Amino acid sequence: MKNEKIKVHTVPNQFQEIEVPVEVLGEVAGMVYFKEGSSLRGQGRITVNILDENGNLVKEILTEGDGYFTYLGLKPGNYTAEIDPVQMQKLDYTASEPIEFEIKIDEYGDIVDTLEFTVEAD
């Protein structure tokens, strides 16, 4: 909600409809896997960056212990998700390519939950 406070005038013994303005936002989710040989396992504590179409950082997301990540709060538009390159350099890991996705305008909010990344040691 844009306004945290809403003023309501009450009338005793009468019902009144109150419309509460909310902003419908989109959600992004996915997995980060660690690749060892031919096997994959979920990798926790990896930072996933969400960038807007101008390349500005919108949100940093830290993966759960099983590699899952999610973020609710994206306005409709085009975005790119990437594994944080600074973290990969510090860990001496290589990550898969960034993924572009779109949050569409929808009455109930859009969900993009198909993002998958792999990281592996250099």
Walk me through the domains of the chain, giving residue ranges and CATH numbers. Answer: 26-121 (2.60.40.10)
User: Cα–Cα distance between 70 and 31 in angstroms, integer?
Assistant: 9
User: Cα–Cα distance between 23 and 1 in angstroms, integer?
Assistant: 6
pLDDT digits (tens, 9 = 90+) for 54-87: 999 999 999 999 999 999 999 999 999 999 999 9
pTM flag (> 0.95): no
User: Cα–Cα distance between 115 and 13 in angstroms, integer?
Assistant: 52
Quote the tokens at residue 42.
Answer: 């979920």
Tokens 């350099």 belong to residue = 89
Specify which residues 117 forms β-bridges with: 32
